[in-house]
Structure 1
């Protein structure tokens, strides 16, 4: 599949000098969402983004109701729905036998229960929807090919130094937000717990036209349009449709056999799947056929932070992966970035002298929420990669507990409203 590319040069490249503006470093999901949330509350926003092109290879994304309800309020969800898919269910299946272990109904039931839909889409489609909405707001400016290199706070606010092409610029704002990802230049980690740590696992991503999937694999897919996860010893495979159902997105998570610390992984383009296919050689033949025939598989090493760090000082706040990079086992990375952004926007009151205390409350509440999601991800990882007696016990539990009880177990996660005190919907 061709790599989807967003050419940011089509976006407005402008500045609106304003000493009271809020400056955002990074135009990813977290940064664009925050810009929209702040714009809706009357703040002037300046985004600096070092890239001119955003490329996301094989990067599907799951957006649960706790994220889509916020996107709906921002005017983004309506832009995103035409290219997204609302799955009928989330299914968990055994990777060796192919048998279904659990089916959790979603679709209309999810929207009714949690007051917003559960959708899957391509990450590039989400970024395009966010960018389109950003360009419609007169109080948001974005400057491309601009990297925030230095910053200092004083009594008036925050001064930032920006590398723009071949010159250095200085800009003043009331607050600086680091939304620049797991390798954030804004994050000054004061301990190893606050640095991104390699987990020893790799997520291999691929996208395949539904019409080109091997028949041996399609026979494993449950009836309907679903998110499907196959579990196995030290590995799992997830599949779901994107791009209005025309493309199937795959994520295979395996151990890193080389166990290096590089972010990227060199792969033989002639046989990209061979480097990790051995992790699936005892799985169902349909899954083996899929792993060997699909491609190219794009590898991403998984990093995480053991401790959240939202506040660098009174004038610098981190959000998204810059604050709390997490593993994908709870499928909440993008949702947490969206929650961070919307929660931060409603936290900031009209009186700037109150911001330090308001931000302390924000950081405390968000840390509690992130830690709960990380715990759920760790539990999911254990369930997905179980083997031997643990896998047998897991299968027994999944087959004998009612789907309703499992669905109810997501109320705290999917029913959370990041813009309301206590998160109640």
Structure 2
């Protein structure tokens, strides 16, 4: 057996696994997951429901989720409902009445797409918006109610090696090394996945040249000029403009409004997160929206501080790395947010993988091959939709004029039908 980790291969002869201190092999049939984010916790719940024992290793000391709001469409909420998570989210999440598209400069309404009751009637599950931390808490609390799910924090998977019997994983836990054997190792450790980069031919995430700026503000603090732009009711609203767009929707039971503004990166950096100060904020962010409606400019000034996240993506999906190592979520296919499907794809991945493993029994190679094939096709279609949305949101000149005419005149029902393939999809059934 060879151990792989940190981008190199180590011969097992150089590391006497049998004499390593703190050795323990608790369950050779368990599924080992690296990462306790949305993808990892969802997978643990989906596997547990199908009778698998699960061990999660998370390198962080706490599971406090950073970030802000999430849009979770019916293709994902139907899966969360089956796992018992949607019930835990019902008091903190919001079901928007509509998705609205407006012109950023004039504030003119371009599209009003009713989604509230329509989502449940047409696709059998709700469309919700929530804070990322609320979803994380709901997943974690549900996972803690399952006796066959173990979660160990401050534990980084550093090496692994597979053989016919399964996979052996080495974990750095505080100041010692632990060893765990399982049937499968799943990398759910995000866009900077150590599981992915441990292979010599690993693709690294590509920088897109754009930044997602995030902030939130209490509803009562919204400026009047911005409130005048909002359609009646509780909605997800997107404002479009040349090279940039802004999205706003309620979170935290409707008490807060979450904002995401995507614009070019004027600092041309490479880090995922960007530390900002008022000067760089004014120069590199708000100026992108200087010609927009006054209400948008006013809310951007009030909603400080804004947190900036540079956007990275994977050029190709890569789910299966080795016979006993598979990736899910951002580790397999980090994508830009233009289709609002990042979290949904992680949830789909998790439930699809659990379904594939349960159907194929001990036939791991065929199960993973089928999973990878189906998910690569699905994620590819979502990425293409995101690229189309990117062009539409950031259009300028004659292209923007043509877009506005199309949006104003196309029947809403045609827009609804165009989402059937996305929102009506059942990731569990597709892998059976």
Fold match, TM over 0.5? Answer: yes
354-363 or 383-392, larger mean C-alpha shift: 354-363
Question: Which of 371, 385, 391 in structure 1 is aligned with 2:380?
Answer: 371
* Rounded Cα–Cα distance in structure 2 between residues aligned with 1:226 and 1:332: 18
* Rounded Cα–Cα distance in structure 2 between residues aligned with 1:290 and 1:282: 14
Question: Which of 113, 122, 126 in structure 1 is aligned with 2:122?
Answer: 113
Question: Which of 324, 327, 336 in structure 2 is aligned with 1:315?
Answer: 324
Shift of 1:354: 1.1
Question: Which of 216, 221, 230 in structure 2 is aligned with 1:221?
Answer: 230
Are the counterparts in 2 of residues 272 and 295 from structure 1 also a CA contact under 8 Å? no
* Rounded Cα–Cα distance in structure 2 between residues aligned with 1:54 and 1:298: 20
Are the counterparts in 2 of residues 58 and 206 from structure 1 also a CA contact under 8 Å? no
| Alignment of 1:362 onto 2:371 | yes
| Alignment of 1:243 onto 2:246 | no
- Count matched residues: 408
What residue is the counterpart of 1:281 in the other structure?
Answer: 290
Per the normalisation by structure 2, the TM-score is 0.92
| Matched residue SS, 2:268 | coil
| Matched residue SS, 1:347 | helix
Q: 1:327 to 1:63 in 2, by over 3 A?
A: same
Shift of 1:78: 0.3
| Matched residue SS, 2:385 | helix
* Rounded Cα–Cα distance in structure 1 between residues aligned with 2:151 and 2:330: 21
* Rounded Cα–Cα distance in structure 2 between residues aligned with 1:77 and 1:273: 39
349-358 or 313-322, larger mean C-alpha shift: 349-358
What residue is the counterpart of 1:343 in the other structure?
Answer: 352
What residue is the counterpart of 1:59 in the other structure?
Answer: 68
| Matched residue SS, 2:273 | coil
Alignment of 1:383-422 (within 5 A): 383-421=392-430
Shift of 1:155: 1.4
Question: Which of 86, 89, 106 in structure 2 is aligned with 1:77?
Answer: 86
Shift of 1:349: 3.5
* Rounded Cα–Cα distance in structure 1 between residues aligned with 2:181 and 2:304: 46
| Matched residue SS, 1:195 | coil
| Matched residue SS, 1:186 | helix
Task: Note the aligned Cα RMSD (angstroms).
Answer: 1.6
What residue is the counterpart of 1:258 in the other structure?
Answer: 267
| Alignment of 1:300 onto 2:319 | no
What residue is the counterpart of 1:176 in the other structure?
Answer: 185
Shift of 1:54: 3.5
* Rounded Cα–Cα distance in structure 2 between residues aligned with 1:74 and 1:341: 11
412-421 or 353-362, larger mean C-alpha shift: 353-362
* Rounded Cα–Cα distance in structure 1 between residues aligned with 2:65 and 2:326: 26
Cα offsets for 1:141-192 (capped at 9, x unmatched) = 1111000011110111000010000111111000000000000000036557
What residue is the counterpart of 1:167 in the other structure?
Answer: 176
* Rounded Cα–Cα distance in structure 1 between residues aligned with 2:25 and 2:234: 46
Per the normalisation by structure 1, the TM-score is 0.93
Are the counterparts in 2 of residues 58 and 207 from structure 1 also a CA contact under 8 Å? no
Shift of 1:55: 3.9
Structure 1: 5+ residue runs without aligned partners?
1-14
| Matched residue SS, 2:402 | helix
Cα offsets for 1:338-369 (capped at 9, x unmatched) = 00000000101476541101110110000000
* Rounded Cα–Cα distance in structure 1 between residues aligned with 2:60 and 2:299: 34
| Alignment of 1:144 onto 2:153 | yes
Cα offsets for 1:382-413 (capped at 9, x unmatched) = 00000000000000100110111001100000
